[in-house]
Every structure is written in structure tokens, then in C-alpha cells.
């Protein structure tokens, strides 16, 4: 099964209550900023928006989609990875649905002008500081994992990653020359106490809604920034006596995710460690093509996107897996739009196509009852179940 456990948005600030309290029996037009992006993005976004529209219509919900440019597509059209118009539209929306960014075409650009800068900029522009990445192994795909079935069947992990701080945003950064005249590159990993506290509270709230277990991952035996992180998390933990708090170094956590993934319920960690662990955890299911993510803030719209990248090598071939994009739309319905019945319909449709043995190439394993399908075929089958 997909789409379990964390069924409500973690409490961030009191001002968010009005959004959660919406009466969904009254039809509302939900404004969604749609960012197809690059590579396979337009293909999977097409499937997701069609599925979302149909699922919404069954529950009396309507969506107003505003399509904007980001990443490489924006660079080609405007010279900027995040045009001002895109950010303005995102801020005026109820939520942002993003497919994928980047590609080989733009690899030679200076780092400040590359497509990925658009993603970092929209996260910062919306103050989307908390990234929620579920790593769930659907029972239908337990045999597709590179690990043994008994290790991964039933795995249900939520990784809460701090998203707008740490080494990806810290200053100073750049290139220079050392005292020997050698060229160097440098970055700064920095967190303030308030930044750590707010992400810790999101993680504790999430753990409280799940298995009441939270593991904080850092490298406090070496890094001062991790020592501060651990100190603040312990302090915040005193406000959540019902949640069991543990601590783990990043290198051990990376090993335990493969050795004993069922140990984890909720993981909270910084930007770079979260980036690595969430990608590693996603492969427990054998593919990135099934895992959604949410990047949320304390007040404005969240960003909902698949964990996978733009896959430029298969773009336009109609072989991409659209299911993570559809599940990202489901997360959007739960967390930002407060229409859980629409999310239920989308998740049920995904489970139905998996139960029917339909597989795109990334999750296909020849076995009785399974059938290899294209992206468009998977979309058509989803529509049947919706």
C-alpha cells in the first residue's frame, strides 16, 4: 500500500490553522502553480494533472492550474532559472506542483545560472524549510528491492530534512587561492538555533502522529554545527515526552538504512545529510519512481514534487513512471489543500494499478501477472480506476 501513516500536516504555526479548518464539503477552486520543468517533467505532470482533475471532480473539488517556467526551460526562455513571474505566481497559489528540473543541456553553465538554482531559489522564496520524504515499500514491489524482501517489506520511514539552510545556502562560498597559490573551493555549513528548533518541531509533530519515534542524524563527534544541532534537538525534545528520541551519526545512519531499515520511524536531519539519506532510502523500494515529497513552510504554499530527477536520457520516449508525480499531488491535497478524500482517491488508484501488475520500466520485473506499460498507458489505467 502507498500513502500511509502521516495523514495530517505537521503543526508548524498557529496561523496555519485556518487552512486546515477549511470545510471541504463546499466546492472551492484550488489555485495550483504547475511547474512541469525539464526532461520527463512535462510527461509525468500531464498524467498527474489529469488524474487530479478527475479525482477532484468526484469530490466536488475544482483546480485552477497556472503553468509557469522553472529550471532549464526557464533559462531557455528568459535566461533565468527562476523568473520573477514564476515566484510571484507561486506565492499567490494555494500550492505548487513541481515535476523535475535539470538536464545535460545546461551542465556547462556557471553554477549560479544552472537549472538547479531555480529549485533552491523557489524553496527559499517560499520559505519552504521542511522537506518531508516518505520512504515506503509497497507490498506489491517488495521483490523489486535490491535488498531481501524480509528486510524491506513493511518499511515506512519519513525523513524530515531541513531545506533552506546548511551547506547549500551557507556563506561564504566560492573559489579562491590558498597561501600556496593553489586553487580551492569552499562552502560553509551553518545553522542557527531557531533554524534547528523549527525543523525539530516539525519532526516531533510528525513522529507524534506516527510511531512516536524520532532519530536525529548528525555528525556531532566532528562538526561544531552538528553539536549545536544535537543540543537544540534534545532541548526541543523535552516538550515531547511521548516521543522517543534517539541520535545517530550520519555514517552509521547510512549503514543502518540498509542493514535494518525497519528500525526507523521518523528521521530529522540537516540539508546535505537529508539529501543523501532520502535518496538512499528511496532505493529500498527499488526505484525513485514511486516516492513523492513535500516541502512546506509555516505559512505559505508548499512545494510538492517527486523524489526522482528529470531523467533527460528517457525524456520524450513515453517510458517514464508517473506514479510519484501522482502521489505528490495526493500529498498536496492532504497537506496544503485539506481535501483528504481526493488524496485517498489518487492513492487508491495507484494501489489499484500496482495490484493489476502494471509496471513501467523502472519497476518492472518479469513475473506472472506483471505487464510492462508506457507512461501514457499507466496514466490511462489510472483514469479507469479513478
- Whether 313 sits among the annotated catalytic residues: the reply is no
What single-letter DSSP state applies at residue 239?
T
Residue 280, sorted as left (phi over 0), alpha (psi -120 to 50) or beta, turns out to be alpha
Q: 359 φ, ψ to 5°?
A: -140, 135
Locate 125 and state its grid cell.
Answer: 522564496
Can you tell me whether residue 260 is helix, strand or coil?
A: coil
Q: 143, 148, 276: which is closest to 217 by C-alpha?
A: 276
Rounded to whole angstroms, how far apart are CA atoms 363 and 360? 6
Catalytic residue, candidates 156, 168, 265, 336: 168
What's the distance, CA 293 to chain centroid? 2
Catalytic residue, candidates 105, 249, 279, 344: 279
Cis bond upstream, residue 172 (ω within 30): yes
Catalytic residue, candidates 84, 251, 313, 317: 251
Q: 267, 39, 22: which is closest to 162 by C-alpha?
A: 267
Catalytic residue, candidates 38, 189, 191, 219: 219
Rounded to whole angstroms, how far apart are CA atoms 319 and 316? 8
Rounded to whole angstroms, how far apart are CA atoms 103 and 36? 13
Catalytic residue, candidates 275, 304, 335, 362: 275
- Whether 46 sits among the annotated catalytic residues: the reply is no
Sheet-wide strand order for 130-136: 62-67, 29-37, 95-100, 303-306, 292-296, 130-136, 156-162, 266-269, 213-218, 244-249
Distances (CA, A) of 348 to 106, 113, 327, 345, 361: 38, 40, 10, 5, 21
Q: 5, 98, 2, 40: which is closest to 290 by C-alpha?
A: 2
- Whether 251 sits among the annotated catalytic residues: the reply is yes
- Whether 279 sits among the annotated catalytic residues: the reply is yes
For 129-157, give the DSSP string. -EEEEEEE--GGGGGGSSS-HHHHTT-EE
- H/E stretch holding 381 reads helix 375-385
Rounded to whole angstroms, how far apart are CA atoms 320 and 148? 26
**Active site amino acids:** 168, 219, 251, 275, 279
Amino acid at each position: 500500500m502507498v500513502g500511509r501513516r502521516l495523514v495530517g500536516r505537521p503543526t508548524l504555526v498557529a496561523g496555519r490553522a485556518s487552512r486546515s479548518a477549511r470545510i471541504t464539503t463546499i466546492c472551492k477552486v484550488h489555485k495550483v502553480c504547475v511547474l512541469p520543468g525539464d526532461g520527463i517533467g512535462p510527461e509525468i505532470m500531464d498524467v498527474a494533472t489529469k488524474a487530479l482533475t478527475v479525482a477532484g471532480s468526484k469530490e466536488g473539488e475544482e483546480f485552477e492550474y497556472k503553468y509557469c517556467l522553472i529550471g532549464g526551460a526557464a533559462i531557455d526562455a528568459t535566461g533565468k532559472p527562476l523568473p520573477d513571474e514564476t515566484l510571484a505566481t507561486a506565492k499567490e497559489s494555494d500550492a505548487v506542483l513541481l515535476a523535475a528540473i535539470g538536464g545535460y543541456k545546461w551542465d556547462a553553465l556557471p553554477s549560479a545560472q544552472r537549472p538547479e538554482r531555480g529549485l533552491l531559489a523557489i524553496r527559499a522564496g517560499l520559505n519552504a524549510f521542511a522537506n518531508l520524504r516518505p520512504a515506503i515499500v509497497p507490498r506489491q514491489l517488495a521483490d523489486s528491492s535490491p535488498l531481501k524482501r524480509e528486510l524491506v517489506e513493511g518499511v515506512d520511514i519519513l525523513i524530515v530534512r531541513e531545506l533552506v539552510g546548511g551547506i547549500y545556502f551557507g556563506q561564504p562560498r566560492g573559489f579562491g587561492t590558498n597561501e600556496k597559490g593553489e586553487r580551492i573551493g569552499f562552502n560553509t555549513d551553518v545553522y542557527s538555533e531557531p533554524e534547528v528548533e523549527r525543523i525539530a518541531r516539525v519532526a516531533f509533530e510528525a513522529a507524534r502522529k506516527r510511531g512516536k519515534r524520532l532519530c536525529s542524524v548528525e555528525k556531532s563527534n566532528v562538526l561544531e554545527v552538528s553539536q549545536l544541532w544535537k543540543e537544540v534537538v534534545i532541548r526541543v525534545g523535552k516538550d515531547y515526552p511521548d516521543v522517543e528520541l534517539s541520535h545517530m551519526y550520519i555514517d552509521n545512519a547510512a549503514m543502518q538504512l540498509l542493514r535494518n531499515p525497519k528500525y526507523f520511524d521518523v528521521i530529522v536531519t540537516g540539508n546535505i545529510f537529508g539529501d543523501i539519506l532520502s535518496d538512499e532510502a528511496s532505493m529500498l523500494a527499488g526505484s525513485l519512481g514511486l516516492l513523492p515529497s513535500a516541502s512546506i513552510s509555516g505559512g505559505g504554499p508548499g512545494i510538492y514534487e517527486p523524489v526522482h530527477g528529470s531523467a533527460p536520457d528517457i525524456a520524450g520516449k513515453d517510458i517514464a513512471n508517473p506514479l510519484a508525480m501522482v502521489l505528490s499531488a495526493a500529498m498536496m491535497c492532504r497537506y496544503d489543500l485539506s481535501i483528504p478524500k481526493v488524496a485517498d482517491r489518487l492513492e487508491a488508484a495507484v494501489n489499484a494499478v500496482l495490484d493489476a501488475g502494471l509496471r513501467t520500466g523502472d519497476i518492472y520485473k518479469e513475473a506472472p501477472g506483471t505487464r510492462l506499460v508506457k507512461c501514457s498507458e499507466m496514466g490511462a489505467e489510472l483514469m479507469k480506476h479513478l
